[in-house]
Amino acid sequence: MSIPTLHIILFASLASLASLLVSTGRADQSREEVALFIFGDSINDAGTNNYINTTADFRANFPPYGKTFFHNPTGRFSDGRLIADFITEFAKLPLIPPYLQMKDGEFMAGTNFASGGAGALVTLTKDLYVVDFKMQLKQLKQLRKKLRKKEGKDQANRIIKEGVYLISIGSNDYLMPLVYNPALFQSISMEDYVGMVIGNITTVLKGMYKVGGRKFAMMGIGPLGCVPGMRLLTRNGSCSGAANKLTRLHGFKYSYFDFYASGSEKIRHPSKYGFKEVENACCGSGPYRASPTSGGKRGVKEYSLCRHPEKFLFFDTYHPSERANKQSAQLMWNGSLSVIRPRNLEALFKYEHV
C-alpha cells in the first residue's frame, strides 16, 4: 500500500529528529550520573493513575496485579516489573517513582510520567481522564522548574540534558478506534490517521528537545493484533490483520526498539523464550481470557487467573507478563542492531553530549 508523500516526510522528520538527538558527543558518560525519564502509556506506568481521578479500567492498583515480584498491587499493569523497571536495574538505578507521587523537592535518579490509557492524540483520550502525552511534556517542564529551584540552573540543565528519555506511546491511538470505533476508518484512511499520530508524537519529541532532552529511547509499537483482546475480535482467534497493518504502516522502523519484531518472534517461537502460552492471557475472562476483568473491579467480578504467569506472554488482555517485560528490557539494554538501533541503551546511558 502506498503512503502519501506528506507522511513519508513525517516519517523522515521523526528519523531526522532521532538522529539529531544522538548525533554528537562522546561515549564515556558514567551510568550512575544519568537520570531516566519515562513517558508513555500502561506499558511503563508505574502507578501514575493511582493519583488521578480515572476509572478502574485504567488502573492496576488491585490484585492480582503485582503478585509475582512486589506481592501486592502498585499500579503497574503486569504481574510484576515493567520494562522500565528492568532498565533501571540494568543501569544500577533505584526504581523510578511516578511524577505525581513525588513530593516537592524530591528527585531520585529520574521520574516516571507514563499513564495507562495515554495516547498521542489528545482528543482520543480526553474523556478517559488520564495523563496524555502532551500533558506529560508539561509535567517535564514543571519538573525542570523544580530541579532548577533545588539544584540550581546549571545542575538542573545537566540532569535534563544527560538523562535518557524512555518513551512508549501510540498503542492506545491504534487500539481504541479498532475496538470502540472501527467505523472511523470509513471516513479517514489508515494512512491519514497514522500521519496524525506521528505528527503529534513528533511535536512532543521536539518539545522535549526544547526543554533540554537529547538522548531518546523510542519503543516501537508491538504486534497489537496478536494481544488476547484483539484475537477476541477476529472470527477464528487469529491475529487481527487491521491492527497489525496499522502498527506497521507508521514507519516505526525509525524508532529505537523494534517492539513489533521482538513480540512477533516470541509469538512464532514461544518455547524458545520459555513460554507455553502466547494466545491466551494469564488473567481475564471469556475466550482467550481476553475480557479485561482482571481483579473483578471493572464491572464484572468473575475472572480466571493462571497459576504460572511466567509461562504466559500476556498477563492480562493487553499487557505483557513480567517475564516478557524482562526479555524486552534485555534486548533494549544490550541487544543487537536487528532489534535496537543505532545503539542499545547500555551505550546510550554512557553517551555524553558536548
Q: Catalogue the active-site residues.
A: 42, 316, 319
281/326 Cα distance (integer angstroms): 17
Q: Do 282 and 314 meet the contact criterion of CB atoms below 8 Å apart?
A: yes
Instruction: Calculate the CA 76 to chain-centre distance.
Output: 12
Q: Of 190, 197, 75, which Cα lies nearest the Cα of 125?
A: 197
210/228 Cα distance (integer angstroms): 39
Q: With b meaning 16 or more CB within 10 Å and e meaning fewer, what string describes 141-178? A: eebbebbbeeeeeeebbbbbebbbbbbbbbbbbbbbbb
C-alpha cell recorded at residue 289: 481470557
Instruction: Read off the amino acid at residue 120.
Output: A
Specify the 3-state DSSP secondary structure of 219: strand
Q: Where are the beta strands (DSSP E) in 162-274?
A: 164-168, 215-219
C-alpha cell recorded at residue 209: 528537545
| Strand partners for 284 | 304
Q: Do 188 and 123 meet the contact criterion of CB atoms below 8 Å apart?
A: no
Q: Where are the beta strands (DSSP E) in 23-132?
A: 36-40, 110-112
Residues 6+ apart with CB under 8 A from 154: none
How is residue 291 annotated by DSSP?
Answer: B
